[in-house]
Amino acid sequence: MVDFYQNKKVLITGGSSGIGLALAKLFVQNRANVCILARNPDNLQKAVSHLEGFRPSPNVEISSISADVSNSLNLNNALSLLISRWKKVDILINSAGVAHPGEFWDLEEEIFHQMMQINYFGTVNAIRAVLPPMLAAKDGIIVNISSIVGYLNIYGYTAYGASKHAVTGLSDALRMELKPQGIQVALVYPPDTDTPQLAYENQYKPQITKMLASSGGIIHPDQVAREILSGVANRKYLILPGLENKLIYLTIRLLGKGLAYALMDRMVASALQRKSAAKK
């Protein structure tokens, strides 16, 4: 993959941790020039120091920008110098995202707004910021990281899943609009991944959600990153990291969502029975 990514200019939102940081590391190892973007300057500094250990050559650029993807004015101002210097972002990775699980009736209205502002509008804002030079050059790659719940949502993720469904809908239309312009769009459905975000989610997951998730595995962010880079290099639109994740997606496609809903209803009912029995 080195030949494909060498000297490419890559911007990664949410690049200071989790999947974003794993992607940054792999891009650096493939001799791409990488700029990671996140809100927390301290986390960015630590991430850059971490990435320095994987730099194969002094000619590989590693930089960072502190900005809030949910604030378009702040984001555009923060990116103006980078775009002026780079002229064009070759690859945009939209990895910035937050998740706060909980049953609908327990979630504050603000949680729903936050999920949409960061996960959906953050993706929109980043694309709008880097797209004009891509259109002018008729060249570029945009990778939107959704979630497997952006394909079929589950119990406890009304706020997060809805925002990731929005990313899916955006990507589907964007792919059709930008393909004739020479710009590639990829959509990623990661499963549960061993990241700080998942650790945060586990603190708030309803018991039913934990029971449903217990049957599935957890994937390492490095594996997610490898499959994303491979998928993008092979011009795939839909990227499904992990074998179990692929099987879940294909099963839903084969059964249809109607049967998938019926199966999930049975799983929820079983989890509720176990929860009730545990209280006795």
Nearest to 92 by CA among 232, 238, 235: 232
The single residue of 146, 147, 163, 171 carrying the catalytic annotation is 146
Per DSSP, 193 falls in state B
Nearest to 141 by CA among 157, 149, 155, 130: 130
DSSP states of 4-15: HHTT-EEEEETT
Contacts of 276 (CB under 8 A, 6+ apart): none
Residue 144: Cβ within 10 Å count: 24
Q: Is 164 in the active site?
A: yes
The single residue of 155, 157, 160, 189 carrying the catalytic annotation is 160
Token pair, residue 223, equals 């594996």
Q: Is 246 in the active site?
A: no
Q: Is 276 in the active site?
A: no
* Residues annotated as catalytic (active site), given as ranges: 146, 160, 164
